[in-house]
Amino acid sequence: MYFVEDMTKSREKRIIKASWIAIVANALLSVIKIIAGFLSGSMALVADGIDSAGDILGSVITLITARIISRPPNIKHPYGYDKADTIASILLAFLIFFAGAQLVIATFERLLSGEPGVLPAPTAAIVVIISIIGKQLLAQYLRKTGRKIDSPMLLANAKNMQNDVLISLAVLIGLVFTHVFNYPLLDVFTALAVSLWIIVVAVKIVIRSGRELMDGLDDPGIYKTITMAVGAIEGAHNPHRIRARKMAHYYMIALDIEIDGRKSLNEAHEIAHKVEDEIKKHINNVYDILIHVEPLGDDRTNEAFGVSPHDLLKTPLD
């Protein structure tokens, strides 16, 4: 018991440390890019800086969420606080969307004004190169730490940092072509593309998080895995009414199985435990598995909820 608590506290400390490093690094990069963008006249660089500012909020939310989800379950929250991760993701998505939308409006106003604009100063490209190097190092650090402590939040943040590297590369290419073709509006078009990408990312976060709040799954193939796991246990038959949902990176799984009614309660209980262990072998991060045992041949064809092997045959999962 004490060992588990120590491991949990150690994991929480590492998440908090990584979050603080991400906050400080993104704050420095954001301030540098926004100031350099305004001074050099590069709207694309300003857009990149705003994207980094959104990463600060993401790291702050990760920091706060790490403390919330570490709370133990209680009578008001018997499943714990892991859903706070999903709620925080939606909050972050709205903040990102707002920043992207504001930038879209600003770039459209610049385009509609008809002003020819000026070529961004070469220092803008230097700042972007510094940003690419910094973001790449930060992504590698978050990825390494996330894998070491199995933290989906840090791994997701690492992926976000990697995406930022691609955004900065797009900004750099836009700046180069702006000077090559001597056409200042290319920088504005690049800023518009980056801001639209920011909005797309925000919408994807809302969709993914909304699916989780509605107890949906990104990968319905988990039902096939559960069915195969049940089939591997002798004495367990006809898995049906299978339901799986996520709490942050944990899975909650419930299913019905059929067992020969002539077996004793102890035998049925043992088979159910074997099914539970087999599922855990094939699916990581299982929070809990609830198995309802029914007598073999029990007709439950009119059940409305859950997934059955028949449903898996009707619906392609790839």
pLDDT in tens, 109-118: 767 765 555 5
Which pLDDT belongs to residue 305? Answer: 72
Contact predicate 125/176, CB 8 Å: yes
Which pLDDT belongs to residue 110? Answer: 66
Residue ending a domain, choose from 213, 234, 254: 213
Which DSSP helix (H) or strand (E) runs through 261?
none
What single DSSP character describes residue 241?
Answer: E
CATH number, domain at 114? 1.20.1510.10
Question: Same domain, yes or no, for 279 and 159?
Answer: no
Question: Same domain, yes or no, for 236 and 194?
Answer: no
pLDDT digits (tens, 9 = 90+) for 139-174: 899 888 888 876 766 777 777 777 777 777 777 777
**Computed from CA positions of residues 77, 79, 82, 84, in that sequence, does the dihedral angle turn out positive or negative?**
negative
Question: Same domain, yes or no, for 176 and 209?
Answer: yes
**Domain with 273 in it:** 222-314
Question: Same domain, yes or no, for 25 and 51?
Answer: yes
CATH number, domain at 296? 3.30.70.1350
Question: Same domain, yes or no, for 136 and 267?
Answer: no
Residue ending a domain, choose from 191, 213, 235: 213
Which pLDDT belongs to residue 256? Answer: 93
Question: Same domain, yes or no, for 183 and 237?
Answer: no
Question: Same domain, yes or no, for 152 and 234?
Answer: no
Classify residue 162 as exposed, middle or buried by CB count within 10 Å of its CB (0-12, 13-18, 19+). middle
Question: Same domain, yes or no, for 24 and 159?
Answer: yes
End-to-end CA gap in the chain: 41
Which pLDDT belongs to residue 233? Answer: 95
CA 259 to chain centre: 39
Measured CA to CA, the distance from residue 48 to residue 95 in angstroms comes to 15
Question: Same domain, yes or no, for 32 and 144?
Answer: yes
Question: Same domain, yes or no, for 186 and 294?
Answer: no
SS3 assignment, position 115: coil
Measured CA to CA, the distance from residue 35 to residue 77 in angstroms comes to 45
Q: 244: closest CA among 307, 153, 315?
A: 307
Contact predicate 29/133, CB 8 Å: no
Residue ending a domain, choose from 173, 188, 213: 213
Question: Same domain, yes or no, for 157 and 298?
Answer: no
Number of folded domains that form the chain: 2
Question: Same domain, yes or no, for 24 and 119?
Answer: yes
Which pLDDT belongs to residue 269? Answer: 94
- Does the reported pTM lie above 0.85? no
Which pLDDT belongs to residue 1? Answer: 40
Regions of the chain short of the pLDDT cut 50: 1-7, 318
